[in-house]
Amino acid sequence: MNAQIDHALEEIRRFRPSPEFAAQAVADEGLYDAARTDRLEFWADQARTLLQWEKPFTRTLDWSNPPFAKWFDDGELNVAVNCLDRHVDAGLGDRVALHWEGEPGDSRDITYAELTDEVKRAANTLIDLGVREGDRVAIYLPMIPEAVVSMLAVARLGAIHSVVFGGFSADSLASRIDDAEASVVITADGGYRKGRVFPLKPVVDEALEKSAGSVRNVLVVRRGENEVDWNADRDVWWHESVATASNEHEARAFEAEHPLFILYTSGTTGKPKGILHTSGGYLTQAAFTHRNVFDLHPERDVYWCTADVGWITGHSYVVYGPLANGATQVLYEGTPDTPHPGRWWEIVEKYGVTILYTAPTAIRSFMKLGRQIPHEFNLRTLRLLGSVGEPINPEAWIWYRHVIGGGSIPVVDTWWQTETGAIMISALPGVTDLKPGSAQVPVPGISIDILDDDGTAVEGEGGGLLVATEPWPSMLRGIWGDPERFKETYWEKFGDKYFAGDGARRDEDGDIWLLGRVDDVMNVSGHRLSTAEIESSLVAHPWTAEAAVVGASDETTGQAVVAFVILKASQVSHVNDPMEASEELRRHVATQIGAIARPRQVFIVNELPKTRSGKIMRRLLRDLAEGREVGDTTTLADTSIMEVISAQLR
């Protein structure tokens, strides 16, 4: 990673917006001026212009009890109405909301009127299942329209959704269901991935056997047509309930600070955090950034964000931002390379996609396959490209712009987090001169700084820790059920400033370069994983005595999970071959947490490098995993240990 970053910092290319693009751009310099003149009035203005309030707010921000912010708190709105009904009422009912493409090639176009109708039916079904304001509903679905419908139906009722990515295991699902005490789970029999049906309902069944028992009903969409067990007291088919439910549903307005969703993300401990987002502020910033960062012209654009709704990018930039803005978008169920490696580009051509938002890891995989694959398709409709999830190296940025974008269209690198709810740092297309590799500048209305370890602001050029110095509308409102952890994790280090957990550097032009996490959080293919969570999964295996996990840099996935494991002496004689043990442990992590957490490598070793106080020195293990010369070992209890471990890896 370091070599990559050094290289990135030498990047000197700059790209001015073309006059044609600038002339039609949604954003302009005036946004920065307005936000600078009166930041709170700027956000109040965005909230009033972009959203429909049933009861207008009179207070913009209440920061009297930091770090618990309240935005627009005496206003009332319904989030689903903002994403649906109001567009239909404005005469846009026939506009396509979703061009859905299934992996096997089936597809559906769904208009705003149809989506509104379906959401009302689903809301009525949820009411029949006893879901009320404030109740939690877990959603464990593939990328099918019903995922969007479910989220909005829950929001419409003022209930709280907790979407769990379909790649997570039964254990992970169970712990999320229990933490939120969900009363209903919405799932599918299965979904398509890499040309096969992957089962979901059986995973839910298994999770519910393990869970504490808050779930009353499971609502099941038929998608994969795989066989599933059925519990008639608990399970309800979507096509038998939602399809026959009434499409009349009067939505009520909720307070702006009414909880909208919980989304679990990895932190520095083994237990995932339930990040809590609320309604008015979240939707304001999601809509504002979606419009201005992606230069959205809803009447003519076809937007496609490739993220799964199981992640925050799918929440803010597949569901809430685009639908609040009345956008037409593509929703794709499957993987980029099924049934052929040009699948994404075929979809861009088929729907005439104009705006594409994806992750650097995907771009790097396409780079590896070569430009001839995208070149087989007509990508000339594209006019803006976005990147998210991890630093994009300048080579990938340039390739994206040239090979996918045809050489002259803007690429915006957007920095944000599950916790921030919406984009915080990004260029504004048509306004900012673009710099490959740098996320560049805070979006209007957002205050970002770089501090050194004791909290002093780094003046001018220099590196340190990234913080948000002022509250922002879509900020997390807490960690579900754990206000103390919320304070400790983000606010203890710098008092009233939000500590993001990322290192960053400001260059001579004032542009910000993200340098990766400074804590024990890894970023694999733009997904957050915790070293502690994978370590505790490894240690839960009967063979393991001790485990240490590091994120090693990886050409395609950004980082990769590499584990070092000491086997229990009592087990060593049963394990015939270290390769076998390593395979078994990789499989174990995938089953316990989910395939995304499966280590790239598990090294079986006899020792781990520890300081005199017994702390594992992951830095040294990272050196090994990345094939580098091992760094300073003087603080090790036994300085010869690294040679022993390296010898074992050879």
406 neighbors 380 (Cβ within 8 angstroms)? yes
| Choice between 388 and 645, CB closer to ligand PRX | 388
Which residue lies nearer to ligand PRX by CB, 417 or 591? 417
Q: Are 71 and 281 in contact (CB under 8 A)?
A: yes
Q: Can residue 101 be called a binding residue for ligand PRX (CB under 6 A)?
A: no
SS3 category, 628? coil
List residues bridging with 342 in a β-sheet. Answer: none
503 binding ligand PRX? (CB under 6 A):
no
Q: What is the 3-state secondary structure (H, E, C) of 274-310?
A: EEEEECHHHHHHHHHHHHHHCCCCCCCCEEEECCCCC
Q: Across the strands, what pairs with 187?
A: 140, 220
Please give the size of the binding site for ligand PRX, defined by CB under 6 A.
21
Q: Is 268 in the site for ligand PRX (CB under 6 A)?
A: no
Annotated binding site for CoA: 193-196, 313, 525
Task: Select from 313, 328, 329, 354 the one that contacts ligand PRX (CB under 6 A).
Answer: 313
Helix axes 618-625, 641-649, angle to 10 degrees: 30
Least Cβ distance, residue 630 to ligand PRX (angstroms): 25
- Is 597 a binder of ligand PRX (CB under 6 A)? no
Helix, strand, coil proportions of the chain in percent (round to 5)? 35, 25, 40
Q: Does 523 bind ligand PRX (CB under 6 A)?
A: yes
Binding residues: 193-196, 313, 389-391, 413-418, 502, 517, 525, 528, 539, 541
Instruction: Report the residue number, 76 or 419, with the smaller CB distance to ligand PRX.
Output: 419
- From the CB of 329, what's the least distance to ligand PRX, in Å? 18
417 makes contact with ligand PRX (CB under 6 A): yes
Q: Which amino acid is at 572?
A: V
Binds ligand PRX (CB under 6 A): choice among 166, 391, 437, 599: 391
Q: How far is CA 518 from CA 277, 586, 618, in A?
A: 24, 25, 13
In the complex, the smallest distance separating the C-beta of residue 307 from ligand PRX, rounded to whole angstroms, is 8
Q: Does 361 bind ligand PRX (CB under 6 A)?
A: no
Cis before residue 339, ω within 30 degrees of 0? Answer: yes
Given 69, 514, 562, 589, the residue binding ligand PRX (CB under 6 A): 514
Residue 394 interacting with ligand PRX (CB under 6 A): no
Find all residues with CB under 8 Å of 502, minimum gap 6, and list them.
415, 465, 466, 514, 515, 516, 517, 518
Interior/surface letters 546-556, b for 16+ CB within 10 angstroms, e for the rest: bbbbbbbbbee
Rounded Cα–Cα distance for residues 475 and 490 (Å) = 12
* Under rule CB under 6 A, residue 235 binds ligand PRX: no
Q: CB of 322 within 8 A of CB of 290?
A: yes
Give the count of alpha carbons within 13 A of 643, CB side only.
Answer: 3
* Residue from the set 99, 156, 517, 622 that interacts with ligand PRX by CB under 6 A: 517
Tell me how far, at minimum, the Cβ of 452 lies from ligand PRX, in Å: 19
Closer residue to ligand PRX in complex, CB, 342/386: 386
Check binding of 528 to ligand PRX (CB under 6 A): yes
DSSP string, 552-580: EEETTTEEEEEEEEEEPHHHHTT---HHH
Residue 275 contacts residue 265 (beta carbons within 8 Å): yes
Q: Is 506 in the site for ligand PRX (CB under 6 A)?
A: no
Cβ(260)–Cβ(162) below 8 Å:
no
> Is residue 413 a contact point for ligand PRX (CB under 6 A)?
yes
Could you tell me which stretch among 46-54, 77-85, 248-256, 413-421 binds ligand PRX (CB under 6 A)? 413-421
| Residue 357: CB minimum distance to ligand PRX, A | 11
**What is the smallest separation between the CB atom of 502 and ligand PRX, expressed in angstroms?**
5
Give yes or no for residue 179 binding ligand PRX (CB under 6 A). Answer: no
Going by the annotation, the residues of the binding site for Mg(2+) are 539, 541
Binding site for ligand PRX (CB under 6 A): 265, 312-313, 388-391, 413-418, 439, 500-502, 514, 517, 523, 528
